[in-house]
Amino acid sequence: MPVFGPFQFPAPRRSARGSWIGTADGLEARVAPGAGIAFTTVATGKIRRSKNPLKMASPANVRDMARVPLGVLQARRAIDQFRPDVVLATGGYVAVPAGLAARMCHRPLVLHEQTVRLGLANRKLAASAARICVSSESTLGLPSESARALAVVTGNPVRPEMLSGQTDRAVQALGLSGFDRRLPTVYVTGGAQGSQQINELVGESAQWLLQRANVIHQCGPANEAGLRARAAGLPAELAARYYLAGFVGGELPDVLALADVVVSRSGAGTLAELTALGKPAVFVPLASSAGNEQVHNARHLEQAGAAVALTGEVTAGQLQTAVGPLLADAQVRRGMAERARAYGRPDAADRLVDEVLAAAAGQPVTAGTGQRGEPSLPR
């Protein structure tokens, strides 16, 4: 989680010095130093959730929770040394020590919730927050009454490059000469490592899909060889419309620009990108996600007619039933795209920055509205 300050505002630009607090084995330990951001490691503990209270008191949970006080002391030391104007917590168990330390050091704390439901860490830190930034209007009613007055809808930031993809660049970069541009294109992804569940559904449905669409399938590096062997049995005409990749990297913005329908998991980042772009989606949520958040994310958009959610033990037949109407009718795709775009916030990063600056300036949120006045920026 980042801490920011001291702030300097040489007109007309704003600049800030930042530091990141995280765990030694987390992704941030590699990304932050690589981006030139100061990084501090703290101890923390992960709660392994269960509906059985006895399992919640497992040795692993007890051991991890015993690490939290040490993490708080480490985070407090880091904040005392850095002296930030504001602390931003983005949820997850690593946010707890730093959030508690921010309160102890009397530094304003801004929470950001990426999913449609408040995560456990943000719920625990809400009482200490100066602002609670949420990604969806529907989240505003979830905090306690006192915390609700601090809630502001910012959306979930999307990388700027995701908004500037070009379809022709995708065709050229991936060599999609066999694609039939008269047909819609489906992008299938289970994330960087792939999803065994989604791969199996698409593998079983490959011939059916390719009779109706072009398919770009990111399957995860470990799954590529098996799926490529399976695809070898496809008729040549259909195989030409199937692009299989272990990983789609820098081409992703262009691939999403080309895609007419996306089949994917329903993590917070995926929802932010697809709604900002206005992409019709069929979600197959990860059932084991913390707090069942992916299911809630997918159902939230489904209820708005902005996506289709397939939960539980999904079959290839169910996938085909969900995708079929979108492939058959461009008007159905356009309608879902418009409803998805209505939930998108491509300016979420700017909104979140404004709230962080406002908190640093001591600007209060207008009570009960989820809005704030213009910040009085520090000088």
| Pick from 87, 71, 84, 80: nearest CA to 22 | 71
- CA 145 to the chain's CA centroid: 26
Angle between the N-to-C axes of helices 224-231 and 196-210, in degrees from 0 to 180, rounded to the nearest 10? 20
Residue 214, both tokens? 């072009």
**Dihedral angle over CA of 250, 335, 300, 254, nearest 10:** 0
List the end-to-end C-alpha distance of the chain, in Å, as a whole number.
25
Q: Give tens-digit pLDDT for 305-321.
A: 999 999 999 999 999 99
Residue 341, both tokens? 């775009």
* Distance of alpha carbon 21 from alpha carbon 324, whole angstroms: 46
SS3 at position 245: strand
Phi and psi of 15, rounded to 5°?
Answer: -140, 155
Q: Give tens-digit pLDDT for 4-62.
A: 544 433 333 456 789 999 988 888 888 899 889 999 999 886 655 555 655 555 666 66
User: Looking at residue 322, what is its pLDDT?
Assistant: 98
Q: Give tens-digit pLDDT for 255-307.
A: 999 999 999 999 999 999 999 999 999 999 998 776 688 999 999 999 999 99
Confidence (pTM): 0.85
